[in-house]
Amino acid sequence: MSDAATGPTDAPRYRVAVLPGDGIGPEVTEAACSVVEAAGQRFGFEVTWQRLVVGGAAIDAHGVAMRPEDLLSCEDSDAVLLGAVGGPRWDDPRASVRPEQSLFMLRGGLGLYANLRPVRPLTALMDASPLRRELVADVDMLIVRELTGGIYFGERREATGPPGKREAVDTVPYGEHEIRRVVRLAFELARGRRRLVTSVDKANVLATSRLWRMIATEEAAASVGTRLEHRLVDSCAMSLVTRPADFDVVVTENLFGDILSDEASVLVGSLGMLPSASLGERRTRYGTFGLYEPVHGSAPDIAGQDVANPLGAILSAAMMLRWSFGREDAATAIERAVEAVLDAGYRTADLTDVRRGHDLAETLLGTAGMVTRVIDAVTASTSGRALETVR
């Protein structure tokens, strides 16, 4: 694929830093770029892609998880598209350099404080969830995870002492500003949805959670017409699989959000289907600067085999078009195209166990085949649901 999409010379041109990463990351990011370029052809915009090395690939090439100059290139772009990082090759817990360090560099260096993970099961995949169809049919939630504070950024002491007496320490720091801005964002998002915010904490045990609950209550008082409920994280984890349709916007701290959002992936049937956006406060010429990535990991065991599900990355790119470029038209077309392809019965390997009423030989697609079907649906009609085209 070329470094720039073709199109009208006077078309808007967006600059995207692409971080393929490790494992299946390069495959799914290329898939997302191809679909965005197809949308650009249809809706009259261009994209310039700058591909950079991060994660394990960067450790192999440069000895660090991400170079400072590559972080600056990301900062100079309009948005960032990330694949996934990590894998067994770099999974030594004693190593001083690890692929995941690139994620912390990106979040901290780019000022990304809120991770948005929409969870909405698609009609064609209702039977993909291990939960009963009636439990997931009405699910439409948005998980908002704080990214810059908490235990991942606190002071730590690695294990010390002789065997049998070793100790390690992690701390959980949170400041009022970190909590207030992400909770305030959650209320802003809820006003465009069902106007319910669920704030998740562990206020019966943790001092930081008691501060979190206090600030959430203050923000609720200033948000007229939007309801707030507090839930303890253990109770929330249970309700996510027993009454998932009760939730609208869920806002929580870094560690809890990491765990709960992965738990919520079972509602849509596959981790490969979930997109995400990490947003900051900076505005570009077109919208809010952000980093976009599928929720799944690098899956090195299937890398290079043309079997990875690219839909999470493609839907992440749709979020990028909506949030960072203000292209609701193209974002909606991509989302409808994904639904059309799934409605037509096409599946990647991770979704074949929920296929209903279709010939596996005709409907099982590899990564490239799924991308082709989605592109066909994006470009076929204004509705994005060109079933005869994708069949």
In whole angstroms, how far apart are CA 173 and each of 59, 95, 112, 114, 169? 29, 25, 17, 17, 13
**Strands (DSSP E) along the chain, which ranges?**
13-21, 46-51, 79-84, 112-119, 141-146, 156-160, 167-170, 196-201, 227-232, 249-252, 275-283, 288-294
Q: What is the DSSP letter of 24?
A: T
**Could you list the residue range(s) of the whole structural domain that residue 15 is in?**
1-129+269-391
Return the CA Rg of the chain.
21
Q: From 233, 267, 301, give the residue that closes a domain.
A: 267
**Residues 176, 122 within the same domain:** no
Rounded Cα–Cα distance for residues 164 and 167 (Å)? 9
Positions marked active-site: 152, 202, 234, 258, 262
From CA 389, how far away is CA 391, in angstroms rounded? Answer: 6
User: Within this chain, do residues 263 and 141 fall inside the same structural domain, yes or no?
Assistant: yes
Same domain, 255 and 339: no
- The structural domain count of the chain equals 2
**C-alpha 227, offset from chain centre:** 26
Contact 141, 249 (CB under 8 A): yes
Q: What is the CATH number of the domain that holds 50?
A: 3.40.718.10
Sign for the pseudo-dihedral over CA of 377, 379, 382, 386:
negative
**Single-letter code of the amino acid located at 20:** P
Written as tens digits, the pLDDT of the chain (391 aa) is 444 444 445 789 999 999 999 999 999 999 999 999 999 999 999 999 999 999 999 999 999 999 999 999 999 999 999 999 999 999 887 888 999 999 999 998 999 999 999 999 998 888 878 888 889 999 999 999 999 999 998 999 999 999 999 999 999 999 999 999 999 999 999 999 999 999 999 999 999 999 999 999 999 999 999 999 999 999 999 999 999 999 999 999 999 999 999 899 888 888 889 999 999 999 989 999 999 999 999 999 999 999 999 999 999 999 999 999 999 999 999 999 999 999 999 999 888 764 444 455 568 999 999 999 999 999 985 444 444 444 4
Q: Do residue 222 and residue 340 come from a single domain?
A: no
Cβ atoms of 268 and 122 closer than 8 Å: yes
Of 234, 267, 300, the residue at which a domain comes to its end is 267
